[in-house]
Structure 1
Amino acid sequence: MNGEALWDSIISDISCSDVELQTTTGLWFRAFYERDKLYVGMAMKHTPSSNLSKQRQISKRDFLFVYSYYDRWTNGENGVRHEVSRKSRNTAYVFALIEKFK
């Protein structure tokens, strides 16, 4: 599945019902779709996301950027982690969504 198709699948599923996930570093978040935008309501600590305290927006552009590095990142290619993290502060949330829906 390419990035565009995965984005469409995630939006389709999340627009019906919010999804609650945990990143590989243990952060909880709830992803939801509202007014043509994908939002991440995140917990400040490693606690269930019912205690949400921050909100970030994930654009399609940001999602596709992180997705383009997904395989190389998970295969441990040198330098990828730094570059992706530097360009997208939503990397951990996008990766959790990819892992859930891929």
Structure 2
Amino acid sequence: MNGEALWNTAIAGLSSSGEEIQTTTGLWFRALSCDGRLYVYKATDNTPSSELSMQRAISKKDFLFVHSYYARWISGETGVRHEVSRKSRNTAYIFALIERFING
């Protein structure tokens, strides 16, 4: 699925109440869609039932940028996560969102 289609799927697939998702590094967060944007609320103690703290808005531009690296990341290419993280502080969350909507 291309990045644009995946963005639209994520926007449509997440409600304003959100969904708990876990990154490959163990971070729990709630992702939700509101006003055509994605928002991430990070769990304070990395469990799905913990208090949510930090909020980050994810722009379409940032989502598409991280998506452009997804195939390299999923194939295990070394250095991809570091390379992307230098340009996007939301890297782990966006990779987790991409996986969630690709794998159902």
Give the TM-score of the pair, scaled to structure 2: 0.88
Counterpart code for 1:91 = T
Which residue is equivalent to 1:31? 31
CA deviations on 1:46-97 (whole Å, 9 max, x unpaired) are: 2225510110011000000000000101212243222101111111111111
SS at match of 2:15: helix
Which residue is equivalent to 2:97? 97
Rounded to whole Å, the distance in 1 between the matches of 2:74 and 2:37 is: 27
Give the TM-score of the pair, scaled to structure 1: 0.90
> Cα RMSD (Å) of the superposition?
1.6
Counterpart code for 1:82 = H
Gap runs ≥5 in structure 1? none
> Are 1:43 and 2:43 counterparts?
yes
Query: How many residue pairs were aligned?
Result: 102
Counterpart code for 1:44 = T
Worse-superposed segment, 86-95 or 11-20: 11-20
Rounded to whole Å, the distance in 1 between the matches of 2:49 and 2:85 is: 22
SS at match of 1:24: coil
Which residue is equivalent to 2:83? 83
SS at match of 2:5: helix
Select the structure that is richer in helix.
1
Gap runs ≥5 in structure 2? none
Which residue is equivalent to 1:58? 58
| CA separation of 1:67 and 1:49: change in aligned 2, threshold 3 A | farther
